[in-house]
Structure 1
Amino acid sequence: MRMALIGCLALTTACGAKVQDYGSPTPVLPEADAPTVFTRAYGLTESPDGKIRVFAKEDRDLTRLYGMRLQDDGSWSAPKELDFPKRIKLTNPSFSFSDGALYYASDADIFDRGQRDGNIWRVMPTEDGWGEPAPLPVSINDGADQLNPAMDRDGRLYFTSNGYDSIGGHDLFEASLDEASGEWTVTSMPEGFNDARADAHVAVTPDGSRIFFYSHRSPKQGVVDIWTAERGTDGRWQMPENLGAPVNTPGIDFGAGLSGDGSILFFSREGELMMISLEAALEGLESSE
């Protein structure tokens, strides 16, 4: 099934080549097989130089990462499964706007502690492949589930966890790195930002001024919606808002990601990868005011 999918994707010559005027949700891989409830794709992310794309795709209980490379003719290569350490799950890919590394979550055992929770890993892309993946230190991966990483240009890391002082299933947290010690300091989002149920699939703009994630909270348009929050001029996060139409629908909209220049929002609609200009995506906020 996986090889059939990849062969189908290879028929797409443009393969979702980026342009700047997607005014409405547009399929990234229009020739791909339609997703099922067991084969949803989500979390498409693009490297800051715009040359690599990575996304997660489910296969029943398994989740894998797939990568694509921009080719000389402007088309994208067929998605290729990435062979990173895992037990059964690789998920939540996100390129850092700070160091260009790919951050993602894996359930591979780390630190010889026999755990089966998810932890955040980091790997640098190379010209024709990938470097050596490594988990972030215990100052991030504390033994609970750490998932959904995203990093802005200033090196601020956002992720979700059911550890620390989370109030729900998985809450959003922000972390900063002490370059001298190599340790991370984790801080909670403002009171009222997180919901009692899980929030997930985090994306952040390059300048760190806006964050996206999916949530089951109300008011909502569908089964699950994409929400967004803006960082105020005082540096504090405002309360999240439902992104609204044209991104959210009565169905399942989730798995946000951003293009390398931050101009395009990627997301998943019922498991199909979609793209829309960030400007058009934010129009739903204006129409709800």
Structure 2
Amino acid sequence: MKILLLLLCLLPCICLAQKQISSPVKQAQKSYNLANQYLSYRLYDKAIAELSQAVILDKNFTAAYQQLGDIYRKTGNFSKALISYKRVIEIDPEFFPLTYFGLAESELNTGNYANAFDHFNKYLSYPGLSAESKQKTTKYIADCSFSLDAIKNPVSFKPVNLGPGINSKEEEYLPVITADEKMIIFTRQTNRNEDFFKSVKRDSLWASAEYLSKEINTFNYNEGAQCISPDGNYLFFTGCNRPDGLGRCDIYISRWEGNGWSKPFNIGGPVNTPGWESQPSISADGRKLYFVSTRSGGFGGYDIWKSELNTDGSWGVPLNLGPEINTPYDEQSPFIHPDDESLYFSSNGWPGLGNKDLFMSRKLFKDEVQTGWKKPHNLGYPINTFGEESGLSISSNGKLAFFSTNQKGGFGGLDIYSFELPEAMRPNTVTYVKGMVFDKITKEILDAKVEIINLKDGKAIFDDITDPETGEFLATMMAGKSFGLNVSKDGYLFYSQNFTPDLNLINKPFILEIPLKKIEVGGLVILNNIFFESGKYNLLPESKTELQHLIGFMKENPSVSIEIGGHTDDVGDEKSNLELSENRARTVYDYLVSNLISANKISYKGYGEELPLNDNSSEENRKNNRRTEFKITTK
């Protein structure tokens, strides 16, 4: 890449040499020749110094101005490149076609889109351009057209600095936040060393940031580009040049273990290769990992890839997200929102305002199967500018975006800000369930298994163990869908619950205290995820997951015998309700027996409306009374 950069810098000089352009001022020509020698060794500062001296000695030394513009442009100093290129055109408007390309690219990257548009078209009008030159110039013209329109139609953008708890005189960037917005992890650069820090929110303010972990941060290697699972328990990050690395940069993972972070481990192949893998983003269910790679099989430059977790815990062969997301240029900084459908990323390949812009795309579905991605949508001006925008993350409720920028009034260098995301750019509505599991009698915190299932397709959206220190878990859920929760631990009765998050109540998360009861005679479990057709005893498909949990419980506890109990509300006559409740209990009994649970271990009984949990004064109460449960009869 560096060799290519050098060649690009030298290209105008080579062409000019063929035209035998030189300075009549001997000392100016000497400085020009010396600058070219410095360029051959990539000593750009010294080359700039010599060329600057050359144009002082000869104010009409067109070739020296051209070379200055090329070096400034290739090293990212577009403002100075502009001055040099304009001077070339003042002296000789037809001196060199590439002058107009260099000028236009510099104008694009300083936000002067109208002039850039004209100068790109001027360059495109010259005959003999290569196909590659035409392609890139046409792409830049599209950027200019988009930018001029975007500036006329700005989006709402009011960034708010997250304050002194997080930001300092150092550089802070790459923020990621947990689903409950109570903890943020970010990168802080001090003396060129990057480390992870965290801050927790107390009374709406971010507390002073703390060093994340000696297990993760190092002095010898570079860590960065991290993401965190919605519950805050898994940290994926990029580690470079580490002894256990497979390539220059690899993806690593660390787990929160109650009192600290585990030693990170390399997730290995096929995700990591001898090449470069970085910038991970994990889906809310922990089963899809999005990342950036330069591996073969892509569309050019940096591409975004996805790997899915296999049933044995290994990562599957990564798939490129395809031309709906990736371009011949660079796509980076992927962030998959907890809705598992909205992807945010940066790109300099799709039409934008210059350098890298922030984009979003949504999954396309047919019959609930993903068929692709929608065309990426630029987040708009002034969220995007002629500078580089990247590293965006979004809160689980979709309202706030977090990013880093260097703005006036900050604490120094890059600071972390939040802003309210425009409605059109927001992901699907997501809420979360947060629970604490403990022993019902002793109140002891329990490390229990928690599983949350999408009841429609039976797929797990969360499957993990509670924090061993706090007994807590947190999982996100999309509004408008139904989910079943199951909490279990050896020696205890399991806990069952279901949720259907309401779009209108999405800002009210589900906060649960879950007391688990030890397996004792008389112990009772309400099977909240067993469903029947209204007024009938046919099991609905959504009941399968709960029934499988019950079957698993019986197999893990072979000495236990249970009674299946059916209950109704008081709508209808008492005799009919008793018959319906018994038929429903019998249906569950039959399902268990058909799945090889001994009939000697199960009985069933219908109780009708005689044992309500609540009075029947409201629909919610009647719903609670219509239930299936099981009771331990022998242990």
Corresponding position: 1:226 with 2:358:
yes
Structure of greater relative contact order (alpha carbons < 8 Å, 6+ residues apart): 1
1:186 pairs with 2:318: yes
Question: Equivalences for 1:24-39 in 2 at 5 Å?
Answer: 24-29=158-163, 32-33=167-168, 39=171
Paired with 1:108 and 1:151, the residues of 2 have a C-alpha distance of 23
Residues 251 and 34 from structure 1, CA distance in 2 versus in 1: closer, same or farther, beyond 3 angstroms? farther
**In the alignment, which of 243, 255, 259 is matched to residue 124 of structure 1?**
255
* Compared CA separation, residues 28 and 85, structure 1 to 2 (3 A): closer
**Whole-angstrom distance in 1 between the partners of 2:217 and 2:168:** 27
Q: Which residue of the other structure, out of 400, 413, 422, is the alignment partner of 1:264?
A: 400
CA deviations over 1:39-70 (Å, ceiling 9, x no partner): 3x322101234332111234575432222223
* 1:106 partner letter: G
Q: How far apart are the structure 2 equivalents of 1:181 and 1:33? A: 40
Distance apart, 1:263 and its partner CA: 3.6
Report the AA paired with residue 251 of structure 2.
I
Match of 1:6 in 2: none
Does structure 2 conserve the Cα–Cα contact (< 8 Å) formed by 1:97 and 1:151? Answer: no
Mapped contact 2:178–2:232 kept (Cα < 8 A): no
Tell whether 2:277 aligns with 1:152. Answer: no
Residue 184 to residue 97, structure 1, CA distance change in 2 (3 Å): farther
Report deviation, 1:131: 2.4
| Cα contact 2:359–2:377 (8 A) shared by 1 | yes
* From 321, 328, 348, the counterpart of 1:196: 328
Q: 1:107 offset after TM fit, Å?
A: 1.0
Of 206, 220, 226, which aligns to 1:93? 226
State how far apart, in whole Å, the 2-side matches of 1:62 and 1:151 are: 25
Any idea what SS the aligned residue of 2:251 has?
strand
| SS of equivalent residue, structure 2 residue 391 | strand
Q: Give distance in 2, aligned partners of 1:177 and 1:198.
A: 26
Question: For 1:124 and 1:258, how far apart are their aligned partners in 2?
Answer: 22
Residues 47 and 100, structure 1, Cα contact 8 Å, conserved in 2: no
Q: Partners in 2 of 1:250 and 1:220 — Cα distance?
A: 8
CA distance in 2, matches of 1:112, 1:247: 36
| Mapped partners of 1:23, 1:112: distance in 2 | 40
Match of 2:373 in 1: 237
1:255–1:99: structure 2 CA closer, same or farther, 3 Å change rule?
closer
1:30 to partner: Cα distance: 6.0
**1:199-225 C-alpha deviation (Å, 9 max, x unpaired):** 222211102111111122342124321
Q: Which runs of no fewer than 5 residues in structure 2 stay unpaired?
A: 1-155, 407-413, 427-635
Give the Cα separation in 2 of the matches to 1:267 and 1:44: 6
Query: Which residue number corresponds to residue 78 of structure 1?
Result: 208
In 2, are the aligned partners of 1:70 and 1:77 still within 8 Å (CA)?
yes
**1:63/1:148 CA distance change after superposition, 3 Å:** same
CA distance in 2, matches of 1:241, 1:42: 24
Aligned twin of 1:140 = 271
Secondary structure, in 3 states, of the residue corresponding to 1:184?
A: coil
CA distance in 2, matches of 1:60, 1:215: 29
Could you tell me which of 177, 180, 186 is aligned with 2:309? 177
More displaced, 192-201 or 146-155? 192-201
CA distance in 1 between counterparts of 2:330 and 2:189 reads: 19
Range with greater deviation from structure 2 (198-207 or 78-87): 78-87
CA 1:281 to 1:24, structure 2 compared with 1: closer, same or farther past 3 Å?
farther
- CA distance in structure 2 between the partners assigned to 1:34 and 1:85 by the alignment: 20
1:61–1:171 distance in 2 versus 1, CA, 3 Å: farther
Cα distance change of structure 1 residues 106 and 112 upon mapping to structure 2, 3 Å threshold: closer
| Contact 2:164–2:208, Cα closer than 8 Å, also in 1 | no
Higher helix share: 2
Secondary structure of the corresponding residue to residue 318 of structure 2: strand
Identical-pair percentage = 20
CA 1:282–1:50: 2 relative to 1, 3 Å: same
Distance across 1 between alignment mates of 2:387 and 2:263: 38
Q: Please, what TM-score do these two structures have when normalized by structure 2?
A: 0.37
* Whole-angstrom distance in 1 between the partners of 2:332 and 2:173: 12
Once residues 128 and 181 of structure 1 are traced to their aligned partners in structure 2, the CA distance between those partners, rounded to angstroms, is: 24
**Structure 1 residues 253, 60: closer, same or farther in 2, change over 3 A?**
farther
Identify which range, 51-60 or 88-97, moves more after superposition: 51-60
**What is the root-mean-square deviation in Å for CA atoms of aligned residues?**
2.8
Q: Is the 8 A contact 2:188 2:194 kept in 1?
A: yes
2:291 match: secondary structure: strand
Describe the SS at the equivalent of 2:206: coil
Give distance in 1, aligned partners of 2:424 and 2:324: 24
Whole-angstrom distance in 2 between the partners of 1:174 and 1:50: 26
CA distance in 2, matches of 1:61, 1:170: 24
CA displacement, residues 163-194 of structure 1 (integer Å, 9 cap, x when unaligned): 14223221100110102252323111122521
Q: How many residues align?
A: 255
Matches within 5 A, 1:1-80: 24-29=158-163, 32-33=167-168, 39=171, 41-59=172-190, 61-71=192-202, 73-80=203-210
* Bigger share in strand: 1
**Closer/same/farther in 2, CA of residues 129 and 47 from structure 1, 3 Å limit:** farther
Matched with 1:14 is none
Distance 1:76 1:125, change over 3 A: farther
Aligned: 1:273 with 2:416: yes
**The residue matched to 1:105 in structure 2 has which SS?**
strand
Q: In the TM superposition, what is the alpha-carbon distance from 1:280 to its structure 2 partner? A: 4.6
Corresponding residue SS for 1:185: coil
More displaced, 86-95 or 137-146? 86-95
Per-residue deviation, 1:98: 7.8
- Structure with bigger gyration radius: 2
Are the aligned partners of 1:48 and 1:100 in contact in 2 as well (CA < 8 Å)?
no
Supply the distance in 1 between the matched residues of 2:396 and 2:234 (Cα, whole angstroms). Answer: 12
**For 2:199 and 2:300, how far apart are their aligned partners in 1?**
35
